[in-house]
A and B are shown apart, each in its own frame.
Chain A
Amino acid sequence: ILNVEQSPQSLHVQEGDSTNFTCSFPSSNFYALHWYRWETAKSPEALFVMTLNGDEKKKGRISATLNTKEGYSYLYIKGSQPEDSATYLCARGGSNYKLTFGKGTLLTVNP
C-alpha cells in the first residue's frame, strides 16, 4: 500500500485569508493525483485531477499544483469564504482507477 500524507490535519482561518494545504505521495509509478472537496453530510466532489509534472489547475478561487518528481501537490484557496469550509481530500491514482486517499485536511473558515 502506498501512503498518501496530508498536512495540516485541520486548519482554522478567517474569512478573506488565503491558505494552502499539502499532499505528499510516493513518486514512483505515478498515474494521477486527485483533489476532492467533502462537505459535512454530503459526498466528496472532485476538484482536480492532475497527471503531468508541473501541472497547475484552477477553479475559481481554488488552484492546485503538482510535482511528481518529488511527490507533492499543493492546494491553494484565495480569499477564503465560509462556504469553503470542508474536508479536502487528496488521492493518488493507481492502475484500474484505484485511488489511495490521504486522511484529509479539515478547513474551517470563520466569518
Chain B
Amino acid sequence: NAGVTQTPKFQVLKTGQSMTLQCAQDMNHEYMSWYRQDPGMGLRLIHYSVGAGITDQGEVPNGYNVSRSTTEDFPLRLLSAAPSQTSVYFCASTRPGQGDTGELFFGEGSRLTVL
C-alpha cells in the first residue's frame, strides 16, 4: 500500500519558472491538502480539497494553484516561482471520520528551492 506519493522529492527552480508538484493517494480518501513547512514555523495550509472537483484556499494560497479532477490526484502548481516559495511541501490526505476528526496521512515531502 503506497499511501500518499509525492513527486519530485527535490527541485531547484529559477525565479519566474513554473512547475507542478504531484500528489497521489491510493486510500480512496475524499479529503486532500497541501502544507508548507518553513523553519521556525508550523505547517501552514496552502490549499485543500474535500472531493473531486472541489478545492478551496487555506492560510497561504497566494502564488499557488490546485485542481482535483480525480479522487486520487491533487497537484500543486507554482505559477511563477519566487524565492519566498523556497520550502518543504507536504501533501496529505484524510480518512473520513466522525465530524471533522480525520487524522492526516502525509507524503514524504518535496523540497523546493527557488533561486
Contacts and interface: CB of A to CB of B under 8 A. Distances in A.
Interface in B74-115: 90, 94, 97-109
Interface string A90-111: 0101111111111110000000
A42 B108 contact: yes
Contacts, number: 73
Contacts of A46: 103-105
B100 A32 contact: yes
Contacts of A1: 59
Contact of A43 (B56, B101, B102, B107): B107
A107 B98 CA distance: 31
B100 A34 contact: no
Interface string A27-61: 00001101010000011111001010000000000
B96 to A, nearest CB: 9
A89 interface: yes
A: contact size bracket: 20 to 34
Given A97-B48, A99-B45, A103-B40, A31 B106 contact: no
Contacts of A95: 100
A89 B42 contact: yes
B108 A34 contact: no
B25 interface: no
A96 B103 contact: no
Interface of A: 1, 4, 31-32, 34, 36, 42-46, 49, 51, 89, 91, 93-104
Interface of B: 4, 31, 33, 35, 40-45, 48, 50, 56, 58-59, 90, 94, 97-109
8 contacts: A4-B42, A31-B100, A49-B101, A93-B101, A97-B100, A98-B58, A101-B43, A102-B42
